[in-house]
Amino acid sequence: MSQKKNSGFNIIREDSTTHGGYYTGTLNLRDLSAVLIDGDQAKIDLGLIHAKSAVERRIKFISNPEDVPNGKVYWIVWVTVDRNEKGPYYAGAAACSMVIDHEARRGWKNLPLHVNRMDDALKRRYRISDLDDEGKEALRRFLIENDQEMWENSPEELKKALQVDTQK
């Protein structure tokens, strides 16, 4: 009998038996995924959780975005899933950008903002208003294609936040 493979990313499970000590202050990332948006394409890249995604490799990140004038903008969207009475759904999503110049091997990202956005997603918040229309459309399409049922079970707040005005 085959078991269904768990695709969740697990650092500390909710059923941990610790009572303080070593695991105190740790985050449960079991229900968190990272989606990389590159133009009109979106894909899961769990390497983003540890800043080791394919686009971040061999890049030196610097603190001034003006020092990356020829960089390309990538978006990271932290997505949390959960289950309610209807079934699984996209419970939180929060976006933040980074700029990378692969030729110069330099990049910029606001690390505190990335951590705060990850926290927002884990706390079941939607913070995706900074995404441009192309990014919103890519994320919406990705979430639907990834799991139609989860999309249908998700709150209207997420669906409205990812609506794109096609009248422009």
Q: DSSP class of residue 66?
A: G
Residue 96 — φ and ψ, nearest 5°? -150, 155
Q: Which residues pair with 92 in a beta bridge?
A: 80
Residue 47 has pLDDT above 70, yes or no: yes
Tell me the DSSP string of 82-131.
Answer: EEETTEEEEEEEEEEEEEEETTTTEEEE-HHHHHHHHHHHHTT-EE-TTS
pLDDT tens-digit map of 137-161: 999 999 999 999 999 999 999 999 9
Among 10-19, 36-45, 150-159, where is mean pLDDT lowest? 10-19
pTM above 0.85, yes or no: no
| Geometric angle at alpha carbon 134, from 133 and 139, rounded to 5° | 95
**CA atoms lying within 13 Å on the CB side of residue 135:** 19
Distance separating alpha carbons of residues 79 and 76, to the nearest angstrom: 9
Residue 54 — φ and ψ, nearest 5°? -60, -40
